[in-house]
Amino acid sequence: MAVQLTQDNATFAETPKGFFTRIGEWFTLVMEAQSRANQVQALYSKSDAELAKLGITRDQIPYYVFRDKAWI
């Protein structure tokens, strides 16, 4: 009978996605979140008429900004 071990003891530095790569990914996520927050704020500052030209209402703003992330 053969025994196969699947335990991986690799550290951050030994993995293809090392420590600094993970930090870079985190900063990317933070920047994306900030960008979306700015979009939401900009849309909330528009008048209802301006929103109507975009085809959305005030209560649809979060769905509009995050439409590529959620199926609602």
What is residue 40's three-state secondary structure? Answer: helix
Q: What is the pTM of this model?
A: 0.62
**Mean pLDDT in residue range 54-58:** 95
Domain ranges of the chain: 23-65
* Beta carbons of 32 and 66 less than 8 angstroms apart: no
User: pLDDT tens, 15-50?
Assistant: 666 888 888 999 999 999 899 999 999 999 999 999
Q: How far apart are CA 6 and CA 26, in angstroms?
A: 28
Q: How far apart are CA 70 and CA 58, in angstroms?
A: 18
Residues in the chain: 72
